[in-house]
Amino acid sequence: MIIALKQDASDDEIARFTAVLEQRGVTVHVSRGTSQTVLGLVGDTSGFDSEAIGAHHLVAKVIRVQEPYKRANRLFHPEDTRISVQSGTEHQIIGGGMLGIIAGPCSVESEDQIIAVAKAVKAAGASFLRGGVFKPRTSPYSFQGMGCEGMNLLAAAKKETALPLVSELMEIHQLEVFDEIDIIQVGARNMQNYNLLKELGKCSKPILLKRGLASTVTELLMAAEYIMAGGNEQVILCERGIRTFENFSRNTLDISVVPWLKQKTHLPVIVDPSHATGIASLVPAAAKAAIAAGADGLIIEVHNDPESALCDGEQSLTPEAFSDLMGTLKKYAEMEGKQF
Ligand code: PEP
Ligand code: MN
């Protein structure tokens, strides 16, 4: 249930009203916008009479929320959520008109590789460096990532370029080595690993939650809800292509999910054109489409030598191709009234 308050409701009155509601067994999520305060009630509201609540002198409107996701629902929080990352001297924002451009290799492979890619993507204007060190591979015989050693190399790349870091966490105990990581990625394969999501709800870092290979939008939003219900409201959603009957591309980019998610949730929505297509030559068009569709950012694979990459070379852009794309994306961002 959502309770939109009248504009003249004072902080004291709101606090007293919230306490009365909470005594009835619900949690009240207070969202203060520039013009209106909205109360989001989470829990069992079946015993609440909308008309009786609507008659309260502070209340402008009562809405019953049909969707199972509450905290992620835009009705609960009408304004866009901005994810703010402070890393050393760098301050980056994703959402609310600010685009986050995350770029880097699928996997960290060596010090030379990650430093070279980090410098190149930074020079091209990326705001974050990506690099997997724990890799969820389809085959157990494929490169599984460098593990903890790769973390040290990511830290070195951060020291060199000041770029904040994004890396994938597969198991909760790996958090021990995630000190230098600024945004924790939950991969498509783990989107419904509810124990992992619950643990990340207790974490203070932003979570980049990728849509599962065959997950519906509601399932994605419910996965976000798991993290948010645990207390971590800093969730970035990522469309990375879904499984369909079509197999010319690695996955099918569900571009219309971007405006749909933007309507349904206040959380930032980014797109991964690399895993969505699996083909480097398709990545620029998919990236442009994502920005034109209203995405709040992109996560793009870039490798200094795609042909010898240990993972996902066929979908990785060269630093030159990435730099060209960034020039074009600036124009798309301007058209959308966004900045990066
Ligand atoms: C990745 O970003 O490297 C990755 C494994 O992506 P996904 O979980 O979307 O397959
Ligand atoms: Mn990859």
Distance CA 293, CA 315 (A): 22
User: What residues have CB less than 8 Å from 207, skipping those under 6 apart?
Assistant: 183, 184, 185, 186, 200, 227, 232, 234, 235, 236
Question: 316 alpha carbon to ligand 2 midpoint, in Å?
Answer: 8
The one-letter code for the residue type at 121 is V
- What pLDDT, on the 0 to 100 scale, is given for residue 33? 83
The reported pLDDT for the residue numbered 144 is 97
- Take atom 5 of ligand 1 and give the residue whose Cα is closest: 187
pLDDT 10s per residue in the chain (340 long)? 999 999 989 999 999 999 999 999 999 999 988 878 999 999 889 889 999 999 999 999 999 988 999 999 999 999 999 999 998 888 999 999 999 999 999 999 999 999 999 999 999 999 999 999 999 999 999 999 999 999 999 999 999 999 999 999 999 999 999 999 999 999 999 999 999 999 999 999 999 999 999 999 999 999 999 999 999 999 999 999 999 999 999 999 999 999 999 999 999 999 999 999 999 999 999 999 999 999 999 999 999 999 999 999 999 999 999 999 999 999 999 999 999 8
Distance from C-alpha of 207 to C-alpha of 10, rounded to nearest angstrom: 34
Q: Which residues lie below 8 Å from residue 115, measured CB to CB, with a gap of 6+?
A: 153, 156, 157, 160
Ligand 2 center to 318 CA (angstroms): 14
The sign of the CA dihedral 279, 282, 286, 287 is positive
Pocket of ligand 1 (CB under 6 A): 106, 132, 136, 187-189, 210, 240, 272, 275
Q: How far apart are the first and last CA of the chain?
A: 36
| Residue nearest ligand 1's atom 1 by CA | 106
pLDDT at 135: 97
The alpha carbon of 307 and the centre of ligand 2 are apart by a number of angstroms equal to: 14
The residues pairing with 83 across neighbouring beta strands, listed in sequence order, are 94
| Residue of 117, 138, 210, 249 best suited for mutating to test ligand 1, as the one with most atoms within 8 Å of CB | 210
Q: What is the pLDDT of residue 176?
A: 97
Q: What does the pLDDT read at residue 296?
A: 98
CA of 57 to the centre of ligand 1 (A): 50
Measuring CA to CA, which residue among 192, 170, 197 is closest to residue 181?
170
Q: What is the pTM for the complete model shown?
A: 0.94
Amino acid found at 22: E
Atom of ligand 1 at shortest range from CA of 189? 8
- The pLDDT value recorded for residue 129 is 98
d(CA 236, CA 225): 12
